[in-house]
Structure 1
Amino acid sequence: MGEYEEFAEALFGQLSVEIDEEKEITQLAIKAKEGLADKVQFKELEDITREIFPVFKDKVEDFLGVKVPDDIQLKFPELEELKKMKGDKVFADKEAKKYVTELFHAVAKEDLKKIAELMQQDTPKYLVYSTYAIQYISKITTTYGDYLDSVIYLNKFILSKYPQIILYKQGEPYESRFENVNSGYLGAVKMTVLEELIHSAQENLQQVNKNAAMEVNKINEELANIILSLDTETVNKLSEYCQLQTVPDNFPFAKKANLFFFLNPDHFLIEQIGPDVMTFTHVEIDPKIEESIPQLLGIYKRWLV
C-alpha cells in the first residue's frame, strides 16, 4: 500500500467513530422496525414536515419581519446523499468545486481508492478540502437539518430512525410508551424546520460568508502549494522546531501534511499565536519559521483581512 492509500485510510480513521455509529443506528433501526411491527406507527417525516411548513413559514416571517423566500424546497436525503450534499456547503471557486464534489462523493461511498487518486491528482486541494470532509461528515448523526440555496434538508437517516430506536429500546408495552416518544419526534422535526427557515431568511449574510470562505480557501491552497514545494531538509527542520509528531522519512507527504495542518491559519493564528499577540491588522510569527517560509507572514495578513 502506497503513502496516499495509507493517508486515505487515516482519513477514515478520523471518521471511524461517526461511521461506526451510523452502522449501529442502521442495525438498531432494522431491529426496531421488526420489533415494533404493526403495534405502533410513527407518521412519515415528509408528511409532518409538509404539514407544518406553511404554518411555520408564516410565523417566522411575522417574528423576524423578514420575507422568507417563496421558492424554498424541502428535501429528505438518506445518509449517503446527505454526505454528498455537505460538499455543496464547501465554498470554492469553479475549479476547486469540481474537486470538492468528487472528494465528498468518494468519502460518502467510503471509496478509499478514489480518495487516494484525488490526493495524487491535486495534493494541495486535498489538504485544504479533506478537513471540511472530516469536519462536516463527522457531525452527520448530530445534524437534524441543513439549509443551502433555497433548499431545506431534513436528515431522514436520523429523524426517521431515532423515534423507532428509542421506543424499541424502552421495551414493551410499546403502545403505552408511544405518545411520549412521538411527542419528542414531532418536537425535533418542528425545531429543525423552524431553525432552517430562520437560516433561509439570512440569504444576504450567507452570501457574504460564502465569498469570505472562498477567499480563505484560496489562501489555504496557496499555503499548501508552498509547503508541498519545500525541500526535505527544510520540512524536517521546521517539523522538529515546531515539535510536530515524528513521521518516518519514507512518508514525505505525511510530513508535509502535518506541517500544513500546523501552519494553516485556522490552527496557527488562533491556537498557536492567540489574540494576545495578534490583531486584525498585525501579526508576528517566529523568525525561524519565517526564515524557512518567507511568504507565510503575507499569507497570514491576507487571511486576517
Structure 2
Amino acid sequence: MGEFQEFAEALFGQLSVEINEEKEITELAAKAKEDISDKVKFKELDEIANSVLQDFKNKVEEFLGVNVPEDLMLKFPELEELKRVKGNKVFADKESKAFVEELFNAVAKEDLKKIAELMQQDTAKYLVYSTYAIQYISKITTTYGDYLDSVIYLNKFILSRYPQIILHKQGEPYESRFENVNSGYLGAVKMAVLEELIHSAQGNLQQINKDAAMEVNKINEELAKVILSLDTETINKLSEYCQLQAVPDDFPFAKKANLFSF
C-alpha cells in the first residue's frame, strides 16, 4: 500500500492549487456575507435560473429548430456534490462505472486512504480514470454550468459566492456599487442557463460522443493492463527509448504509470 499511498498524495498534489482556491473562496464568501448581509442582498441562484428557464427554452427551440428535453430540470449542487456529478460525465462501461463513481467520491471527500485502496483494487482502471478526475475537477472553479441526462447543473459553489466576494472586494459603500455587480451576476446565471439549454438540444451528438468515449476508455484499460504486466527490464528499456524521466526501481508502479501517461 506504501507506493499507492504516495500516489494518492501525488494526485492531491496535482489538485492542490484548485483545492486551496476552493478553501479561499469559502473563507472569502463567509467574510463577505457577514459584512454586506445587512446592507444589500443578492437574489438566490435557483430563483433567477428558474425564472428564465421556460422563456430561454422556448427561444432556444425557436432559434435552433429542435426540441430540448421535455423533462428538463435544474439542479444546484454545492462543491462536493458537483465533483461527484463530474464523475457521471466520465463515460465508462458498466464494469468500470462503479469504480469511477467510487474514485470521484473519494476525490470529492479528499479521502487518500480510499484512493489508495482503489488503486490497489484495480490499478489499470485507476491509471485510466484518475486522469479524468484531475482534468475535470481542476476546472471546477471556472465552470458555471454542466448538462447531463436532462439535468442542467449550475455551480452553486461559484455562482452564489462570486457576487458577494466581488462586491466585498470593491468595498464600501456597498449600496452604490451593488447594481453593477448584481448586473454581472444576473448575466452570468442567464448565460450559464442558455449555454446548457443549447447543450441539451444536442442529444444525438452527445450520444455519439458518449459511445465513442466508452470505446476509447475500454482500449485505454487494455493498454494499462498490458503495461502493468510488463517486467521491470522491459519497462526500463521502453522508458529509455521514449526518453522518459528516470524513476528508481524501488517504485515499480510509478515506472509503469509514467509509461502509460506517456
1:221 aligned onto 2:221:
yes
Give the deviation of 1:258 after TM superposition: 0.2
Q: Which runs of 5+ in 1 are unaligned?
A: 263-305
Give 4+ residue runs of structure 1 displaced > 6 Å after superposition.
none
- Cα distance in 2 between the residues matched to 1:161 and 1:69: 30
Alignment of 1:242-257 (within 5 A): 242-257=242-257
1:210 aligned onto 2:236:
no
Alignment of 1:154-193 (within 5 A): 154-193=154-193
1:127 paired residue number: 127
Percent of residue pairs identical: 83
- Cα distance in 2 between the residues matched to 1:245 and 1:143: 33
- Cα distance in 2 between the residues matched to 1:4 and 1:142: 30
User: Secondary structure at the residue paired with 1:69?
Assistant: coil
Give the deviation of 1:37 after TM superposition: 2.3
1:162-196: CA deviation from partner (whole Å, max 9, x where unpaired): 00000000000000000000000000000000000
- Report the residue type matching 2:75 in the other structure: K
User: Secondary structure at the residue paired with 1:74?
Assistant: strand
Q: TM-score, normalised to structure 2's length?
A: 0.99
User: Secondary structure at the residue paired with 1:146?
Assistant: strand
- Report the residue type matching 2:137 in the other structure: I
- Cα distance in 1 between the residues matched to 2:203 and 2:151: 12
User: Secondary structure at the residue paired with 1:181?
Assistant: helix
Q: Please say which structure displays the higher CA radius of gyration.
A: 1
- Cα distance in 2 between the residues matched to 1:237 and 1:211: 35
Greater relative contact order structure (CA < 8 Å, 6+ sep): 2
How many equivalent pairs are there?
262
1:26 paired residue number: 26
Alignment of 1:235-274 (within 5 A): 235-262=235-262
User: Secondary structure at the residue paired with 2:74?
Assistant: strand
Q: Which runs of 5+ in 2 are unaligned?
A: none
1:96 paired residue number: 96
1:115 paired residue number: 115
- Cα distance in 1 between the residues matched to 2:203 and 2:143: 21
- Cα distance in 1 between the residues matched to 2:152 and 2:37: 31
Give the deviation of 1:231 after TM superposition: 0.4
- Report the residue type matching 1:243 in the other structure: Q
Q: TM-score, normalised to structure 1's length?
A: 0.85
- Cα distance in 2 between the residues matched to 1:256 and 1:142: 32
Alignment of 1:271-282 (within 5 A): none
- Cα distance in 1 between the residues matched to 2:246 and 2:107: 27
1:135-165: CA deviation from partner (whole Å, max 9, x where unpaired): 0000000000000000000000000000000
User: Secondary structure at the residue paired with 1:208?
Assistant: helix
- Report the residue type matching 1:109 in the other structure: K
- Cα distance in 2 between the residues matched to 1:102 and 1:183: 39
- Report the residue type matching 1:193 in the other structure: V
| RMSD across aligned positions (CA) | 0.7
- Cα distance in 1 between the residues matched to 2:160 and 2:64: 30
